Structure 1
Amino acid sequence: MNSMRSEKVKGKEMGLYKRFLITSVIGMVVCSGAAAETPNVILIMADDLGYGDISCYGAKLISTPNIDKLARQGLRSENYYSAGSVCTPTRYSVLTGRYPFRKKEITTDQWKGYALIESERTTLANLFKRQGYKTAAVGKWHLGYGSEGVPDWGGVLKPGPNELGFDYHWGLPRNHNDNIRGYVENHRLHGLDPDTPFKTASDTERVQGLLQERLDDEVNAVLTGKVVDFIRANQENPFFVYFTPTIAHTHITPNVRFRGTSKAGQYGDFIQELDHYVGEIMNLLDELKLTDNTLIIFTSDNGGQLNDHSSAGKGLKLADESGDVALKSRTAKKDARKMGHKTNLDWREGKASPYQGGFRLPFIVRWPGRVDAGTTSAKLINSADYLATCADLLELDFPEPYGEDSFSFVELLTGEQVDQPRTNVALHSGKARCYVEGDWKVIDFNYGRKPKKKVELYNLRNDPAELKNLAKSNPERLKAMQDKLRQISKQGRSR
């Protein structure tokens, strides 16, 4: 009897133990699923970085091992377009999911520097914040501050990124070569001198009213440091980081550690510095054991600039002046081209152009265990598509009436099919408006800031360099493309 009772007790204990194991396994699966639904997201958008500036896209004189590693461990797009061929229009599209030509300040010269995005509009950051994410915008902003007119740089800069869903903001108000010469932290310029009124720099005077002016060769190290600090501080929470370094925008001023490291002169050195900072963030994720649950997206805002800007090398303040960095910054892009570097590969023209060199950009996504490693995609993607994609990723309803031109590419991330895939795209340049559908592209110069009665039509499959204008030989195709562009422009939304 005692033996039988003992066997029954053992049987009950074994049953309890099995139930415990099953419950534990289920719990682990549920926890794993919950983690997968709230991945950390880091969107790295470089500045004026061309399709040919990254070695995994074809650069021969510049080495980008960390960005290449992202591509090997994830997916590389071969059909990504920015919505604009210069900085502000694309940045507007990224955060709003709206084509930039719908904002009149972008299509005219009326913008004075106030906030371009309305505070009530649903933005990319809003989506993440609603789901409990910590959010940060670090780097070049260039979307304005304040409600009207020229921002009061010595006062409160509100509304700004904080009103658009970002918990923290540290950045350059405009460009690497702006005349504000400082960093904005949340609602104020950092390091204002209480005893001196703020005054922007000019061709003859340095900025006034700042305790410390930006050092041009340390800007991107500072920005990356802020990203690292934010991730460390929020590693226990899901986070979204919108990181916008200033490389490769004028001024081309690589940190002393990277000077002379590339075969494309100072321009190549600058891009190799960018690659180093991408690697720094990747290493941090490894250290914190966050890699597997972090989605990284790497891209640029527009195509590379072919020529050096008129402001290049002017008004610099450097931490280290060795290697003739100031002198070389004046002709860095021209010098790289002479050395054989092709910033946009064989795409026609570059930044500010309505041709492919202005819009066709690198785009890489890595999400271990979700995005297949070492893959490529020919799916059409546009910079306006992040809003719809992240809404799907977070399992949120589409934020009507906003996101007017945003189409989800979430199937590249999760494999889930979408109801409305992107099949065409409208593009903005100050010179013209473009429409791409399938193999065809129309460029209509009637939409430029200085309208011209001129239109061009190209078959991108047969003529990717846009050398043969088919407008006269294919009038029916031309009319159909122009009609679709006109319809998208007038309707106010394309989805």
Structure 2
Amino acid sequence: MIKQVFVSCLSLLTFSLCAQTSKSDSYIQKPNVIFIYADDLGYGDLSSYGATKIATPYLDKLASQGVRFTNAHSTSATCTPSRYALLTGEYPWRQSGTGILPGDAALIIPTDKMSLPKLFKQAGYKTAIVGKWHLGLGDQVAKNWNAEIKPGPNEVGFDYSFIFPATADRVPTVFMENHSVVALDLSDPIQVDYNNKVGNDPTGKEHPELLKLKSSPGQGHENTIVNGIGRIGYMSGGHKARWVDEEVSTTFLAKAKSYIEENRENPFFLYFTLTEPHVPRMPATMFKGKSGLGLRGDAILQLDWTVGEIMKQLEYSGISDNTMVIFSSDNGPVLDDGYQDEAVTQLNGHTPNGVLRGGKYSVLEAGTRIPFILTWPKIVQPRISSAMISQMDLLASFSSLLNQSIPIGEAPDSENTLDAFLGKSDKGRSVLIEQGGNVLGLGGTLAIIKENWKFIPANDGIPYDKLIDIETGNSSVPQLYNLSTDLSENNNLAKKYPKKVKELAALLKKETRK
């Protein structure tokens, strides 16, 4: 083989062609990778997934160019555990403290173990996160926000990070670049407390007349007011550093575009974590009122436009052909999640869940079955895939693609489903465990899917949460669904197939004991 290559490259012309082929092969081995992560986007929120009341043309175009998955899952029906699983390759319920975190939480990702960004770094990539983090910072809850805070995303494997610490409805409402708060004024120091009020800033509970977006009763969004919006938690100081909600998305976009341009000559992994359509929904003025579905719909339009801007940047930088773009969501949708923003009153026939039951916080399918699109020009062919895939499996799959090893015992639940991700096979995972919500009294119910059979054990959790208007999937009786014929989980077959119930119950018990 070596001799043949040598002979074929004797002439200058042929040598030039061989050099080009070698360069092309190198590109195939190391594509740039951008993972775009939406926040609380539902299975039915995109027109490429069947939505008829809202149009998402940029994501539809992305879907038409690559693989659109119909059986893709986050591990969990809430954000922090899903993100933990994505980055570590481990089911979050195996570790305590992986539920939805407050804004002052300590880092929950191990710094001494393999992670998705570390895998890319090991393969010679530059790595960055831009957007929402929500996995904790520092080594303890009490921290000095006016100095460098470590460990964080950089210690987990990102060369560069531009984030906000938690999520948009929690304090501190500031951007952080690498280890420091952006635009910090030391003469106006930041203090954060999730138990007791600090400083003299007005709160939503004390001064509801100051709110431009009213809080929903009983959901906790009534503490320190920032930009006319009540938040979870108390904050004082840092007034110059506080963001304006309408500018958060475009700020993250600008950082992401700059990163792409600056690294166009080197392979890079960009984890671009959007805030839409998570609450509080305050899109830029150019999108307000455009969807006809209230601020949530407007936020989805902004999300779609943002994806389009990233694709344009790839074209401008001349690297679109050698860039894999993955788009997904951290969990299913929710309408009333803390603010009265017309998401419910202006739904106008839109179905964020599609045909699925449940939503965010639910162990039913709408909790974890999410949009998932993967494009890689000239390598991945356009198609629709029914393979069962999990975001948690990206770590093992990229390990295979990049020919990188994972230390024994690390990323224990990540499976190599690379052929499914690339659309070469309809065989993905055969078994998946789904985690329901673990806040608002919903518990952390686990369900198991094996070859389209789904089992939810009997439990004493509430079946329906009136506060957020979502079915939780909890029931006092065992539930069994055949998802191949009953994706809406309407027909409980547990009594009809007791052997299947027993089989899946035993398998769930075995998997959770590992």
Q: Report the TM range for the smaller structure's normalisation.
A: 0.7 to 0.9
1:465 aligned partner:
488
Kept in 2, the 8 Å contact 1:42–1:243? The answer is yes
Tell me the distance in 1 between the aligned counterparts of 2:23 and 2:49: 38
| Residues 1:17 and 1:405: Cα distance change in structure 2 (over 3 Å) | closer
Tell me the distance in 2 between the aligned counterparts of 1:48 and 1:413: 22
Residues 366-419 of structure 1 deviation map (CA, whole Å, 9 limit, x = unaligned): 10001002x01111101211101111111112442211111122114557789x
Residues 280-337 of structure 1 deviation map (CA, whole Å, 9 limit, x = unaligned): 01001111110100000000000001x3123x2xxxxxxxxxxxxxxxxx23321342
Kept in 2, the 8 Å contact 1:113–1:151? The answer is no
Tell me the distance in 2 between the aligned counterparts of 1:269 and 1:225: 20
The secondary structure found in structure 2 opposite 1:335 is: coil
Tell me the distance in 2 between the aligned counterparts of 1:175 and 1:108: 10
- Percent of residue pairs identical: 37
- 1:68 counterpart letter in structure 2: D
Establish whether residue 116 from structure 1 lines up as the match of residue 108 from structure 2.
yes
Kept in 1, the 8 Å contact 2:80–2:101? The answer is no
2:310 aligned partner:
281
Within 5 Å, give how 1:270-349 maps onto structure 2: 270-305=299-334, 307-310=335-338, 312=339, 330-337=340-347, 339-349=348-358
Within 5 Å, give how 1:246-261 maps onto structure 2: 246-261=275-290
Tell me the distance in 1 between the aligned counterparts of 2:138 and 2:416: 31
| Residues 1:208 and 1:112: Cα distance change in structure 2 (over 3 Å) | closer
Q: Normalized per residue, which structure has more helix?
A: 1
Within 5 Å, give how 1:31-430 maps onto structure 2: 31-106=23-98, 113-200=105-192, 202-203=203-204, 205-206=224-225, 207-210=235-238, 211-305=240-334, 307-310=335-338, 312=339, 330-337=340-347, 339-373=348-382, 375-412=383-420, 422-429=429-436, 430=438
What is the Cα-based RMSD across aligned positions, in Å? 2.5
Q: CA deviation at 1:460?
A: 1.4
Aligned residues: 455
TM-score using structure 2 length: 0.84
| Residues 1:153 and 1:119: Cα distance change in structure 2 (over 3 Å) | same
Q: CA deviation at 1:263?
A: 3.1
| Residues 1:93 and 1:445: Cα distance change in structure 2 (over 3 Å) | farther
Kept in 2, the 8 Å contact 1:299–1:361? The answer is yes
Q: CA deviation at 1:246?
A: 0.3
2:3 aligned partner:
none
| Residues 1:110 and 1:191: Cα distance change in structure 2 (over 3 Å) | closer
427-436 vs 463-472, greater mean Cα deviation: 463-472
Within 5 Å, give how 1:9-20 maps onto structure 2: 19-20=11-12
The secondary structure found in structure 2 opposite 1:472 is: coil
| Residues 1:421 and 1:356: Cα distance change in structure 2 (over 3 Å) | closer
The secondary structure found in structure 2 opposite 1:169 is: strand
Tell me the distance in 2 between the aligned counterparts of 1:447 and 1:427: 18
Tell me the distance in 1 between the aligned counterparts of 2:401 and 2:447: 29
**Runs of 5+ in structure 1 lacking a partner?**
1-14, 313-329
- 2:356 counterpart letter in structure 1: W
Structure 2 residue aligned with 1:443, among 456, 466, 471? 456
| Residues 1:221 and 1:453: Cα distance change in structure 2 (over 3 Å) | same
Tell me the distance in 1 between the aligned counterparts of 2:247 and 2:191: 22
Tell me the distance in 2 between the aligned counterparts of 1:69 and 1:465: 27
TM-score using structure 1 length: 0.87
Kept in 1, the 8 Å contact 2:123–2:404? The answer is no
1:434 aligned partner:
447
Kept in 2, the 8 Å contact 1:45–1:243? The answer is yes
| Residues 1:233 and 1:112: Cα distance change in structure 2 (over 3 Å) | closer
The secondary structure found in structure 1 opposite 2:188 is: coil
2:230 aligned partner:
none
Tell me the distance in 2 between the aligned counterparts of 1:145 and 1:417: 39
The secondary structure found in structure 1 opposite 2:480 is: strand
Kept in 1, the 8 Å contact 2:388–2:429? The answer is yes
Task: Determine which structure has more spread, i.e. the larger CA radius of gyration.
Answer: 1
Kept in 2, the 8 Å contact 1:252–1:332? The answer is no
| Residues 1:169 and 1:233: Cα distance change in structure 2 (over 3 Å) | same
Residues 338-376 of structure 1 deviation map (CA, whole Å, 9 limit, x = unaligned): x11111112001000010110111000010001002x01
**Runs of 5+ in structure 2 lacking a partner?**
1-6, 193-200, 207-223, 226-234, 464-473
| Residues 1:399 and 1:457: Cα distance change in structure 2 (over 3 Å) | same
1:486 aligned partner:
509
Kept in 1, the 8 Å contact 2:8–2:14? The answer is no
- 2:316 counterpart letter in structure 1: E
Kept in 2, the 8 Å contact 1:76–1:364? The answer is yes
